[in-house]
Amino acid sequence: MTEVSGFQLKRGGPEVYEASWVRAQMGRAAEDLVAAVNVAPGDRVIDVGCGTGVVARTAAELTGSAADVIGTDVSAEMVEAAAKFAAEAGYPDIVWLECDAAAIPLPDATFDVVLCQQGLQFMPDKPGAMAEMARVMKPGGRLALSVWKARSPIGAAFSTVLDREFGEGTTAPWDMVYSLGDRNRLHDLAAGAGLREAYVSFDVKFARHPSPTNFITGAIAGSPIAGTIEKLPVSEHDRLIREILEELAEFQDDYGLAVPAQCLTLTARR
């Protein structure tokens, strides 16, 4: 993967998301997600809320045919970046589609597998998005969808340092990240979409990054307070990064940062 310079890290966007979160955490989590529903050769797969496309790429490795995999996201910027990263990774045939998860412009009963990694909590119309995921699934098709269960130590470190610096509530918009971390709500959403055999499993994903400073810089640049941070003089910016890393000191090992995050994964069938 292309190394990201300090300048790019501070600018945010899909390049930084890919270089920080995908490299540190979402890539390994995507492997867990496809394993949860045994994505296999011959499966037609849709990745909803695909972001920079790591789940779609991971699925394409298993289906044997990248053309059988579609990634969708409401953000044109993400879809464009996903296409670029997939081509670079050797999957130019994955199909990318810009659309709201609550209005997927594809026919009923098209996919064997629907995947959605850390996307549903950000979608305003959650029942609508679940209904669409169920609609495009073939009868007997499989769903695997993950959400964060609780604020991770990274979120807590950001809150401590950035709320202290900029005022109480500064990092509140970030609470959306784990706003759907409730097993009962996931069950209700699955039932509301007519899905069966719904199970929610709990586990912990690690954000592992060999360069903690780059990772935290990128994570901030991709956050809701990126605009505030961007305006700071370099010395102030770097001080805040240092303070956040101090909060995370117990999660540093000899390889860098290794920070746990609690995750819920819903699997179900149509």
| Interacting residue ranges for ligand SAM, rule: CB under 6 A | 22, 26, 49-51, 54-55, 73-75, 78, 100-101, 117-119, 122-123
Supply the minimum distance, in Å, between the C-beta of residue 18 and ligand SAM.
8
The 3-state DSSP class for residue 266 equals: strand
Q: Judged by CB, which is closer to ligand SAM: 54, or 161?
A: 54
Between residues 30 and 257, which has the closer beta carbon with respect to ligand SAM? Answer: 30
- Give DSSP secondary structure letters for 116-173: EES-GGG-S-HHHHHHHHHHTEEEEEEEEEEEE-S--HHHHHHIIIIIHHH-TTTTGG
Q: Which residues of 30-40 are buried (b: 16+ CB within 10 A; e: fewer)?
A: bebbbebbebe
Q: To the nearest whole angstrom, how small is the minimum distance from the Cβ of residue 264 to ligand SAM? A: 14
Length of the chain: 270
For residue 182, what are its two tokens? 């409730």
* Nearest residue to ligand SAM, scored by beta-carbon proximity: 51
Compute the least distance from the CB of residue 120 to ligand SAM, in Å: 8
Least distance CB 117 / ligand SAM (angstroms): 4
Closer by beta carbon to ligand SAM, 55 or else 143: 55
Q: Which is nearer to ligand SAM, 27 or 153 (CB)?
A: 27
Say how far apart CA 30 and CA 18 lie, in whole Å: 13
